[in-house]
């Protein structure tokens, strides 16, 4: 017997940004111990890859869960334009205070922004900070 299907669509986007892992809650020494070279005062950068997964019914008139004509500009505006070639600590308002721009926190912030996508459910965001590290956040896992 055929089982009911769940279909999702995943799109990959890229941005390049600098950041520094440093918390004002800790002493200089503690920051150094905790974050190591990621805490160097002038910061460093990565080529981030963001995978955005949307799910929901496939519209029979278009064959699509979400039209990339809607998703691409939305992610472009909310994430790529806001993060690409930026200093995350200085130029993304959410990271100016006590929130350290670790990729965990960047993933949560991106997910918070993308959940507002009006055309489909954004169920997952996965970020590759480098080709060796990736971070995922899913629907229920985030409080905002």
Per CB under 8 A, residues contacting other proteins are: 1-13, 53, 58, 60-65, 67-69
38, with CB counted inside 10 A (0-12, 13-18, 19+), is middle
Using the minimum distance from each CB to other proteins, give the nearer residue, 40 or 130: 130
Alpha-carbon gap, residue 91 to 19, rounded angstroms: 10
Number of Cβ within 10 Å of residue 14's Cβ equals: 11
Using the minimum distance from each CB to other proteins, give the nearer residue, 49 or 99: 49
Using the minimum distance from each CB to other proteins, give the nearer residue, 65 or 92: 65
User: 133-138 and 121-130: which strand pairing?
Assistant: antiparallel
Quote the least distance from Cβ 120 to other proteins, whole Å: 11
């Amino acid at each position: 017997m055929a089982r009911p299907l769940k279909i999702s669509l995943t799109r990959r986007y890229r941005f390049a940004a600098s950041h520094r892992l440093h918390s004002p809650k800790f002493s200089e020494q503690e920051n150094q111990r905790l974050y190591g070279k990621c805490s160097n005062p002038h910061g460093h950068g990565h080529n981030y890859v963001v995978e955005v997964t949307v799910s929901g019914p496939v519209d029979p008139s278009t064959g699509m869960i979400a039209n990339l004509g809607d998703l691409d500009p939305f992610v472009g505006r909310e994430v790529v334009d806001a993060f690409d070639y930026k200093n995350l600590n200085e130029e993304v308002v959410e990271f100016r205070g006590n929130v350290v721009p670790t990729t965990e926190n960047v993933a949560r912030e991106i997910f918070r922004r993308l959940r507002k996508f009006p055309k489909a459910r954004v169920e997952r965001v996965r970020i590759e900070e480098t080709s060796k590290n990736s971070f995922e956040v899913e629907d229920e896992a985030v409080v905002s």
